[in-house]
Amino acid sequence: MSDKFEELKRAMDSTTHKGVHFNQIHKQRIRSAIHSNSLPQRKPAILIVFSLSAAAAAIMFVLFSGVLMQDQVGDRSAALPKEEQWIIRDEYKEKDGTIFSVFPEPNLTAGKSAGYIFSFAEPFPAYEGKTLSINAVNKETGEQINVVPQEKIIEPSPGYSSLQRFATSFEIPYAGVWKYEVILDGDYYGDVVLSVAEEQGIILPEDIPGFVKKEDFQDIDWTRKAVELEGNMLGNENKSGVIGADMPSLTPQKWMWHLWGNESSEFTVAGFHRKTQEVHPVLDNGWAWTMKLGGALNGADAHIPTAVTITKAGEWAILIYDGEELFDVLVFDIEK
């Protein structure tokens, strides 16, 4: 038994439990492995990076596609190159032809209402039941104002098969180049670009008598309205009065003028429209400035019957001159 134990002890001493087992070669290999810069690549990391990149690319594609689709569907202005979007033009075209045109009132001027006719080319079903509005955008300031509120299109223009004569009027607040954007059911439909001139103030007609001055129109008291006088007159007590001014006057009418205290037989009248700041002749159906007065009538010192034409509805100041002197101002609201 003891002999076998000694043999086992000698065998163990010759392997792991005794002697030098890590020589210099073993040590050098261990050090090289520890300090080596060429570590093995981890394949799972490559797969993760590739997957994340692919996902990001897919998200970008979806977002870009959505923006592109929105531009193509919701903004027809992409049909025009940028350099052409602010060129003065009175029609909007696409490759299939003219979509709509605008016919503005001549001599567009800032600060006063002007009339426009928009002529839309598409068949009526393209507009029926939809809302239509118009915005004006200034080129220099970028300011956008809604000049035509939303209006539901129910029927074609009177006498037409579609919207060939969509009439409206509005005021542009200051001069410059303005883009008029038509909005149909909340989406951009097209635009035109017009130039609006500076407000010119009061311009006197070339044929008006020389004694009529701009200052006469600037000093009008618009709160001093003509009042009812005896004999179915409207006017200013003991100064001037008119029979017929309370009748519809936007079509040719006959007015009977009365003056108290005048000194001349020369009777001159100038009509002034407050909103447009326009001066018009009203006597002889809008052709004459001056006429001869007749004698006394209805308690007045002088009178004259004349045919009268008023060009548009609104507040009017009727300036009456006795000879070459401003005699009185009658202020009327004429709506029909």
DSSP strands (E only) in the chain? 91-94, 97-104, 113-120, 131-138, 144-152, 166-171, 176-184, 187-196, 227-229, 233-236, 240-243, 253-259, 266-273, 278-280, 290-292, 302-308, 314-322, 325-334
pLDDT tens-place string over residues 154-197: 999 999 999 999 999 999 999 999 999 999 999 999 999 999 99
Q: How far apart are CA 267 and CA 265, in angstroms?
A: 6
Predicted TM-score of the model (pTM): 0.48
- Vertex 13: Cα angle to 10 and 19 (nearest 5): 140
Q: Is the pLDDT of residue 202 over 90?
A: no
Domain positions in the chain are 80-196, 214-334
- In this structure, whether the domain defined by 80-196 belongs to CATH 2.60.40.3830 is answered with yes
The stretches of 255-304 forming alpha helices (DSSP H) are 283-286
Q: Is the pLDDT of residue 91 over 90?
A: yes
Residue range 321-327: mean pLDDT, rounded: 97
* pLDDT-based confidence at residue 78 (cuts at 50, 70, 90): very low
- The domain defined by 214-334 folds into Immunoglobulin-like (2.60.40)
Residue 3, pLDDT score: 55
Residue 223, pLDDT score: 94
pLDDT tens-place string over residues 211-260: 999 999 988 999 999 999 999 999 999 999 999 988 766 778 899 999 99
* Shared fold status for 80-196 and 214-334: yes
* pLDDT-based confidence at residue 57 (cuts at 50, 70, 90): low
